[in-house]
């Protein structure tokens, strides 16, 4: 059987006459003494090719790979809601209920938040879009949002589990501990604000801690992604006890609301509550709406007591300014002396420890 195309000429090439005679010879009997020289192979440069995996060897290879990487973090994988078992309820509020759940295949613990309400389709799509954006949030002081499910008409969010629970009800009178706590919260808040995310519900119950003393901001069920195409944050979402005055009474700031400055006010109220061991206003935080409104909007902002250090009193004052334009931003507060003195204190302790160490032995000749 003859090929459809002529084979390519050898590397040396032929002249036109040689090409014509060659095509003529192909019509005659095939010569049996034609040989082609094989290229010489240098054994030193030879590289063995991998053999295709056999079906029997595949499982053992996979097991060995998993065993060698057992200490490495598992790659991100979508968690199926059918693989989650509820352990117990760990919190509830106006926005929904949070359950401690376990992922059966990995035995890993998560927090599952079930958002209340039969939302309209447009509202449901908006919530889903915001949660999808929040899945990309990745910061050591922000609770990680892993998955979002629309299950049986309920919106459920799979979150990082914090084994230490919330900081609600904690009395932290030590300013060094409070400085480290505020620094961690501000670090996470500054990260969110730089990504144009306003939390809008900063309060002690939404500040979680784990066994490693890492503090993280939680509960983004009421967060909102700020964009130039979206309206200002003027909806009454969140706890009124920690809301800024201009958010409760829109007449105080000509109807304008800055969500970033609102988060700073809520942070200041929370930090002062930790220090005092009580809600810093003259009324209880569970009081009626009218009493809270009068206390927050019509009285002077609360202050740290005179027994506190000047740095702490000034820090609280920078957060609880009635005029939102005068409140410091999260980024600026990270450089406040009350926040930075904790790091300076660590360096000072390290210097003192070095002074207590014995002198190094003399060099021997």
Tokens of 362: 């003399």
Closest by CA to 301, choosing from 252, 256, 350, is 252
Detail the DSSP E strand segments found in 118-218.
Answer: 145-151, 154-160, 197-198, 207-209, 215-217
DSSP 8-state class, residue 324 = G
End-to-end CA distance of the chain: 90
Could you list the active site residues? Answer: 201
Cβ atoms < 10 Å from Cβ of 166: 18
Which residues make beta-bridge pairs with 43?
none
Cβ atoms < 10 Å from Cβ of 213: 11
Query: Quick check: 242 and 270 in contact, CB under 8 A?
Result: yes
Annotated binding site for ATP: 113
Cα-based angle 60, 66, 71 (whole degrees, multiple of 5) = 155
Residue written as token pair 């002249």: 15
């Amino acid at each position: 059987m003859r090929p459809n195309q002529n084979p390519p000429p050898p590397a040396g090439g032929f002249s036109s006459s040689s090409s014509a005679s060659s095509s003529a010879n192909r019509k005659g009997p095939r010569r049996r003494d034609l040989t082609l020289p094989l290229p010489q192979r240098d054994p030193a440069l030879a590289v063995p090719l991998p053999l295709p995996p056999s079906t029997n060897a595949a499982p053992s290879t996979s097991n060995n790979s998993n065993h060698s990487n057992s200490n490495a973090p598992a790659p991100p994988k979508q968690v199926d809601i059918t693989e989650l078992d509820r352990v117990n309820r760990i919190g509830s509020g106006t926005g929904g209920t949070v359950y401690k759940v376990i992922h059966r295949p990995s035995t890993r613990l998560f927090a599952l938040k079930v958002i209340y309400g039969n939302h309209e389709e447009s509202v449901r799509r908006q919530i889903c879009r915001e949660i999808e954006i929040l899945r990309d949030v990745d910061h050591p002081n922000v609770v990680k949002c892993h998955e979002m499910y629309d299950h049986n008409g309920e919106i459920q969010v799979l979150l990082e589990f914090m084994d230490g629970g919330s900081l609600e009800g904690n009395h932290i009178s030590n300013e060094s501990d409070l400085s480290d706590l505020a620094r961690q919260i501000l670090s996470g808040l500054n990260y969110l604000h730089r990504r144009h995310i306003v939390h809008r519900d900063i309060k002690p119950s939404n500040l979680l801690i784990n066994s490693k003393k890492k503090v993280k901001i939680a509960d983004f069920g009421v967060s909102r992604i700020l964009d130039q195409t979206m309206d200002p944050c003027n909806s009454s979402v969140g706890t009124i006890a920690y809301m800024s005055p201009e958010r409760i009474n829109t007449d105080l700031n000509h109807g304008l609301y800055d969500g970033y400055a609102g988060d700073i006010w809520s942070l200041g109220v929370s930090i002062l509550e930790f220090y005092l061991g009580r809600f810093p206003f003259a009324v209880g935080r569970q009081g009626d709406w009218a009493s809270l409104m009068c206390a927050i909007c019509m009285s002077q902002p609360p202050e740290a007591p005179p027994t506190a250090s000047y740095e702490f009193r000034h820090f609280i004052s920078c957060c609880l300014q009635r005029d939102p334009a005068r409140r410091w931003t999260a980024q600026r507060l990270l450089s406040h002396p009350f926040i930075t003195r904790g790091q300076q204190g660590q360096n000072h302790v390290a210097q003192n420890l070095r002074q207590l160490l014995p002198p190094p032995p003399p060099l021997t000749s």
